[in-house]
Amino acid sequence: MSDKDQQIARKGRFTAMVIAGTGVFWILATLIGGHLELTNRMRALFDMLALAGFIWAFVLIYQMWRLRQDNQR
């Protein structure tokens, strides 16, 4: 396995962890927020944090795609 392939695999694993972690955070924040009767403003904050996590994951996916494009040449 070349160095580029290892770098792509490492970034892929990290991206998967970011997506899974963001999803778990979002579900837990929603459940805990409902149980503790947090304000809608606080719940919206957790939603925005989850959205930021998913956007970051899309950026990581784009970086991986670019690495793969460079690796094919």
45-62 pLDDT, tens digit each: 999 999 999 999 999 999
**pLDDT: which is higher, 59 or 67:** 59
Please state, in angstroms and rounded to a whole number, the distance separating the CA atoms of residues 25 and 53: 10
Which stretches does DSSP call E strand in 1-73? none
pTM attached to this predicted model: 0.89
- Do the domain assignments include residue 6? no
pLDDT digits (tens, 9 = 90+) for 15-48: 999 999 999 999 999 999 999 999 999 999 999 9
- Helix axis angle for 3-35 and 40-72, nearest 10°, is 170
- Residue 50: predicted pLDDT: 98
- Do the domain assignments include residue 2? no
- Do the domain assignments include residue 1? no
Q: Which of 11, 2, 23, 19 is nearest to 72 (CA)?
A: 2
Amino acid at 48: M
Interval 65-70 mean pLDDT: 90
- Do the domain assignments include residue 4? no
- Do the domain assignments include residue 42? yes
- Do the domain assignments include residue 7? no
Q: How many structural domains does the chain have?
A: 1
